Amino acid sequence: MDALLAALADPARWRLLSLLAERPRSVGVLAQLTDARQPQTTKHLQTLERAGVVSSQRTGQRRIYTLRPGPLRDLATALGQLADTADQADGPGAAYERYRLSVDAERLAAQESGWADGHSFTFHRSLPGRPDLVWRHLTEAALLTRWWTPSDLRTSELVFEARPGGRIVQEYRDAEDIDDANPAVGRAEGVVGDVRPGEHLAYRLSPLLPDGRPAFTAHVAMNLGPTGTGTDIDVRWRITDSTVDSADFIAGIEIGFGQSLDKLAATLTADTHDTNTTDTAVTRSTE
> Which CATH number covers residue 20?
1.10.10.10
* Phi/psi of residue 220, nearest 5 degrees: -110, 130
The span from the CA of 130 to the CA of 178, in Å, is 32
Residues 32 and 128 in one domain: no
Q: pLDDT (tens digit, 9 = 90+) per residue, 208-255?
A: 999 999 999 999 999 999 999 999 999 999 999 999 999 999 999 999
Q: What SS3 class is residue 180?
A: coil
Answer yes or no: is 104 within a domain. Answer: no
Judgement on whether residues 141 and 179 belong to the same structural domain of the protein: yes
- Please answer whether residues 78 and 1 qualify as being in contact, where contact means their C-beta atoms are separated by less than 8 angstroms: yes
Domain count, the chain: 2
Please provide the DSSP assignment of 69-119 as one string. HHHHHHHHHHHHHHHHHHT-TTSHHHHHHHHHHHHHHHHHH--STTTTTT-
Same structural domain for residues 165 and 276?
yes
In a domain, 171, yes or no: yes
Residue 155 has what pLDDT? Answer: 93
Same structural domain, 68 and 137: no
pLDDT of residue 59: 85
255 with 150: CB under 8 angstroms? Answer: yes
Task: Mark which of 47, 67, 84 sits at the end of a domain.
Answer: 84
Domain of residue 191, CATH code = 3.30.530.20
Alpha helix stretches (DSSP H) within the chain: 2-8, 11-22, 27-33, 38-50, 69-86, 92-109, 131-139, 141-144, 247-251, 253-286
Contact in structure between 57 and 63 (CB atoms under 8 Å): yes
Classify residue 89: in a domain, yes or no.
no
Task: Judge if 268 and 155 occupy the same domain.
Answer: yes
Residues 120 and 65 in one domain: no
Give yes or no: residues 70 and 134 share one domain: no
Task: Provide the domain limits for residue 208.
Answer: 113-286
pLDDT(287) > 70:
no
11 occurs within a structural domain? yes
Residues 238 and 145 in one domain: yes
Q: Does 196 fall in a domain?
A: yes
Task: State the pLDDT confidence band at 99, using cuts at 50, 70 and 90.
Answer: confident
Assess whether 6 and 125 both reside in one domain. no
Give phi and psi for 273, each to the nearest 5.
-65, -45
272 falls within a domain:
yes
**Is residue 91 assigned to a domain?**
no
pTM over 0.85: no
Same domain, 248 and 183: yes
Do 120 and 79 share a structural domain?
no
Same domain, 179 and 72: no
Residue 88 has pLDDT above 80, yes or no: no
